[in-house]
Amino acid sequence: MEWSFLSTETLTFVSTIVACVAMVFAAISVYFTYKITQTKFGVDVRGQAQWVDSVYSDEKYVSSIKLQNFKDKSIAIFSIYVRIGHNYYIEIEEFEDSPLILNPFETINRNYDPIEFYNFNSCKIRISSLPSKLIYSSELILYTSEGRYNVRKRIPNDNLVMHYFNNHLTAIAKPIRLPFKGVSYGGNTKFIVEFIYENGKSEVVPLQEEDYSWQKFKRFSLSKDALRSKDDLERFLEDKISNSLLTCASFTVYDLNEKRKEIFEGTYKEHLARQVNWFEYYILGKILTTVAEFRLKLKNRKAREIANKNNISRIAAIKLRSIFRSITQATDRSRRLFMTKIRSFFEALSDQSKN
């Protein structure tokens, strides 16, 4: 191809642009090659510990641990700790015999039950006496096959449930379905008819209250009276079978309204959705949430005080029972010793009178 019509300066400029583009693509390929290679070496784990202040325990405790492996290799974890401040290490779990294996790019979640207390060298430590901000900002420590690893990055956790706890005006609506053999037919379905044919095959036909308005079956239409109740529908279908308008080996009618009453009645209260403006949600909702959390903390504190009083009363009753038992045993021994001395005295008098 002839480039004679282009000047030397233009050719130089085009060559420079092409060279720059080639260098950019080369740098990008080198960067991605480096990132892919990095996933094969070292440890890169993100995680977080979920602290809970519960009525079931006087102490704050870790209720769950979430770990996510960002490397393309497995990691063996021998123990998990949480460090509070500079000097407190809370043992979460030990895996001495069988280490926990975190597979490549895997995310795991481990849950834990409430605790009694924290122990160090036969001393009971009150971790809850530390500032809450210090406890909730604790750091995860993992002891892996490559040594100690401090989990400095948290897993992004933008969960809608947390939005509710931050603002109680947040409504997270969950669809409720009533499945029949793995399929849901909606809240307007009144009956389900299951037909069994001579060849063993089955067919499910959902019926709504207005299905008498059009022809649901090929050879006949439903009547309004037939859809009033389960018994009326069964009699209607049996009549069609006897008149050879419906061919099947058997059929079963299921009344979904009765099933709904059995499952849902008394469980849910109907609430009409209402549009909330910006001021109601972000200002009033936050204030109401703060007040509700304060009341809940007071309630939990009273519950813990009652539980502690009950424990103290129970311990005092046990100790009093033990003291009373000791006194009773000591009294019995003293009585037996006194009677033995009296008996010996009278025996000695009797021997002297005989002599």
Residue 37 lies in a domain: no
Whether residues 110 and 141 share a domain: the answer is yes
Q: Tell whether 166 and 305 lie within a shared domain.
A: yes
Residues 128 and 198 in one domain: no
Q: Which of 203, 223, 229 is nearest to 211 (CA)?
A: 223
| pTM summary value | 0.50
Q: Please give the radius of gyration of the chain, using alpha carbons only, rounded to the nearest integer.
A: 39
Structure-token pair, residue 205: 């036909």
Find the mean pLDDT for residues 244-260. 91
Q: Are 242 and 340 found together in one domain?
A: no
Pairing of β 189-196 and β 179-180: unpaired
On whether residue 115 sits in a domain, the answer given is: yes
Strand partners, 46: 68
**Residue 320's domain spans which residues?**
161-171+276-355
Q: In this structure, are 120 and 138 located in the same domain?
A: yes
- Name which of 122-136, 178-192, 252-266, 302-316 the model is least confident about: 302-316
Q: Name the domain count of the chain.
A: 3
User: What phi, psi does 267 have (nearest 5°)?
Assistant: -95, -40
Quick: pLDDT tens for 141-197. Answer: 999 888 899 998 777 666 677 777 888 888 888 888 888 888 888 889 999 999 999
Tokens of 190: 């009144």
Count CA atoms closer than 13 A to 23's CA, side-chain side: 6
Same-domain pairing of 49 and 152: yes
Using CA atoms, how far apart are residues 149 and 143, in angstroms rounded to an integer?
6
Domain boundary among 264, 294, 324: 264
- Domain end, chosen from 204, 238, 264, is at 264
Q: How confident is the model at residue 158, as a pLDDT?
A: 64
Checking if the pLDDT of 122 tops 70, the result is yes
Is the pLDDT higher at 304 or at 131?
Answer: 131
Burial of 139 (C-beta count, 10 Å sphere; 0-12/13-18/19+): middle
Label the pairing between strands 100-102 and 123-125.
unpaired
185 close to 243: Cβ distance less than 8 angstroms:
no
pLDDT in tens, 22-73: 888 888 877 777 666 666 677 888 888 989 888 788 889 999 999 998 888 8
